[in-house]
């Protein structure tokens, strides 16, 4: 039987997954808000559909992945299609892309999937509620808590080249990251080994201070390392400042032990080298 993935909010991470599934014979239906994006998805072999604006074809899907963020009203997918989803007992697998932001800040300490969810921001609290609402559907739901995503066209190189990259220094600050291709590999492994109700941290092996990543990107480009700016003196948006309020390091043992995943890019150095090579090849 042909497998069909309904990918709701078919964005950067889901497109990487589609690049794995389509050569394996999968049908991928990807939703987007934009006619221009729909044409791009069609060129990638994805069956595009505009949503919101059309009913989600849940009856056609064997698998569902949602990348849609909650808003002030809740999870947009569940608001529109929650009742239909709850009745869709034919679904073999459902995935929800969440964020490690649900853990809140830990002053650089470690968290794993069993850690208490201590998000203090409205954004993090909304994610906690959305995870619970998806798990409550009675479907084979899997939660993926993603670290900071990077990959081709989503990395620090352009800012370094333009001279706009900043090395903001906040002692004890750690972020976890994940290359988009490793996200796709983890989600694919879960599809192959369903474990309804499972929660997975999706991050690499080496949480690191953000200034180290910027410095390494400059070194790869053979450009001057951007000057250091103390956090207290840095001008940034409220959202960017909130990220610096949530220092933590994230364990990823479960994706290895349960799913058998071997990360292609286990640290930012290998990942940034691959991104630079991919961008140079284009």
pLDDT, tens digit, 9 for 90 and up, residues 178-195: 999 999 999 999 999 999
What local confidence, expressed as pLDDT, does residue 2 receive? 86
**pLDDT tens readout for residues 61-85:** 999 999 999 998 999 999 999 999 9
Q: Where are the alpha helices (DSSP H) in 28-138?
A: 35-43, 76-86, 122-135
∠ Cα 252 11 85 (to 5°): 85
**pLDDT tens readout for residues 215-243:** 999 999 999 999 999 999 988 888 788 87
Measured CA to CA, the distance from residue 267 to residue 13 in angstroms comes to 18
DSSP 85: H
Which residue matches tokens 């790869």?
220
What local confidence, expressed as pLDDT, does residue 245 receive? 83
Averaged pLDDT of the chain: 95
pTM of the model as a whole:
0.96
Give the domains, in start order, of the chain with CATH numbers. Answer: 68-281 (3.40.50.720)
Please answer whether residues 77 and 31 qualify as being in contact, where contact means their C-beta atoms are separated by less than 8 angstroms: no
89: confidence class by pLDDT, cuts 50, 70, 90: very high
Half-sphere exposure of 221 (CA within 13 A, CB side): 25
1: confidence class by pLDDT, cuts 50, 70, 90: low
Which residue matches tokens 């250091």?
228
């Amino acid at each position: 039987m042909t497998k069909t993935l309904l990918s709701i909010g078919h964005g950067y991470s889901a497109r990487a997954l589609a690049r794995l599934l389509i050569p394996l014979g999968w049908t991928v239906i990807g939703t987007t808000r934009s006619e221009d994006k729909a044409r791009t998805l069609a060129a990638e072999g994805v069956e595009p559909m505009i949503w919101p604006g059309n009913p989600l074809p849940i009856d056609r899907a064997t698998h569902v992945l949602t990348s849609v963020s909650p808003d002030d009203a809740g999870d947009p997918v569940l608001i529109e299609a929650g009742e239909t989803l709850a009745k869709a007992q034919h679904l073999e697998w459902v995935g929800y892309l969440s964020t490690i932001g649900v853990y809140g800040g830990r002053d650089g300490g470690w968290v794993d999937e069993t850690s208490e969810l201590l998000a203090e921001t409205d954004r993090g609290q909304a994610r906690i509620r959305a995870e619970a609402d998806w798990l409550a559907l009675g479907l084979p739901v899997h939660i993926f808590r993603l670290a900071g995503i990077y990959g081709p066209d989503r990395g620090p190189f352009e800012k370094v080249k333009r001279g706009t990259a900043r090395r903001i220094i906040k002692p004890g600050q750690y972020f976890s990251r994940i290359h988009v291709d490793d996200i796709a590999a983890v989600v694919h492994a879960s599809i192959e080994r369903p474990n309804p109700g499972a929660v997975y941290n999706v991050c690499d092996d080496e949480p690191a201070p953000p200034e180290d990543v910027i410095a390494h990107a400059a070194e790869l480009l053979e450009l001057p390392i951007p000057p250091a700016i103390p956090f207290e003196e840095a001008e940034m948006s409220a959202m960017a400042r909130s990220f610096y309020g949530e220092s933590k390091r994230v364990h990823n043992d479960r994706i290895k032990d349960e799913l058998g995943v071997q990360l292609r890019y286990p640290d930012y150095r290998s990942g940034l080298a691959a991104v630079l090579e991919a961008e140079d090849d284009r």
